[in-house]
Amino acid sequence: MKIAIVGAGSWGTSFGRYLSLQGHDVSVYGRNPEKIALINQSRKNEQYLPGIELPQNLRFFSEIEPVIEGAQLLFNAISSQYIRKQYAEFAGKIPADIPIINLSKGIELTSLKLIHQVFAEILPDNPYAALSGPSHAEEVAIDMPTTLVVASLDDELNHQIQNLSSRTIRIYRSNDLLGVEIGGALKNIIALAVGVSDGVGFGDNTQAAIMTRGMAEIMRMGSALGANTETFLGLSGFGDLIVTCTSHHSRNRRCGILIGQGLSVQQASEQVGMVVEGIRTMEAAYALAQQMGIEMPLTQALYDIIHEGASVSETITELMERDFKQEFNL
């Protein structure tokens, strides 16, 4: 197939490499003409995937027209906070018959909408799917076995994306688009919290506690928004949560570690060197929880630490001394 990818960062490049190696004709759009020219010349994206050789049938452009010309699928790989602005620039250039498959994860801060809701506003006629799960670009780029889940209300599109599976990537199907996107977005918040805990020197017990109670918050918000809670036991739920909270590849966990060590959010984000989706997603989830009356103590604690200057140790103590409750009273 002819496949378009919007976003020449780590995941767009890595997934583009994967699709190219499966024999597809893949074109990637990136905003920076100098960086795009360097990638095409060197056949490497050293900024995001150092040392990884890129196939010759994976081409990069700084204009959208040659990327989408004749494309049968369009994968979005730009971060959630920039989707609306970026696709507004493409207005009238993306045909309505090209399915959009979203690879990014988050909640739009300005509207508190999930990504499928954003695309429903900006490209309402295009079929849509979300492809999510535990999938660090750095490992996909070296062909480590990876499992993903595709979620769409269009069952034919679900099957089409599932057929992109290979010996290195196995794709499952889901019709719970809402749940898959909620899990993919909120796990970044919990990874930030785990990172903060690691940064101040807490151990495995604390990490496990944050991950487990973090999943309770994800399920609580998911249930309130109408998702199938069973979805959070799968790849876009616990699967993605585990990898993002424990891996050294996780930019959200790394950012949290630096915050726990005393750096500001800006300093930590600059040191990570890539977009840290969990920061804006945390702000959006906090606002949404306040709006809907959803109890999310870990998200609240993280908000207090990052935006209110709360002490990490005092915040942890407050969490530990909350009123007693049953574990599964979601």
Residue 293: give its domain's CATH number: 1.10.1040.10
Looking at the 3D structure of the chain, how many domains does it have? 2
Give the count of beta carbons closer than 10 Å to the beta carbon of residue 253. Answer: 30
Enumerate residues 6+ apart whose C-beta is below 8 A from 232. Answer: 179, 182, 183, 215, 218, 219, 222, 238
Same domain, 141 and 86: yes
Residue 276 pLDDT: 84
User: Which two structure tokens, joined as six digits, stand for 78?
Assistant: 């730009």
- 67: nearest Cα among 27, 36, 24: 27
Same domain, 135 and 224: no
Confidence of residue 329 (pLDDT cuts 50, 70, 90): low
3-state secondary structure of 25: strand
Annotation says 85 is catalytic: no
Locus of tokens 């585990």 = 242
- Quick: pLDDT tens for 162-203: 999 999 999 999 999 999 999 999 999 999 999 999 999 999
pLDDT at 328 over 60: yes
Residue 273 pLDDT: 79
Residue 90 pLDDT: 94
Q: Side chain identity at 211, as an amino acid letter?
A: M
Average pLDDT over every residue of 107-136: 97
Q: Which of 35, 85, 113, 187 is catalytic?
A: 187
Provide the residue range defining the domain that includes 298.
Answer: 178-320
pLDDT at 300 over 70: yes
- Quick: pLDDT tens for 25-57: 999 999 999 999 999 999 999 999 999 999 999
Cβ-contact 61, 29 below 8 angstroms: yes
Q: 151, 175, 199 — which closes off a domain? A: 175
pLDDT at 330 over 70: no
Confidence of residue 91 (pLDDT cuts 50, 70, 90): confident
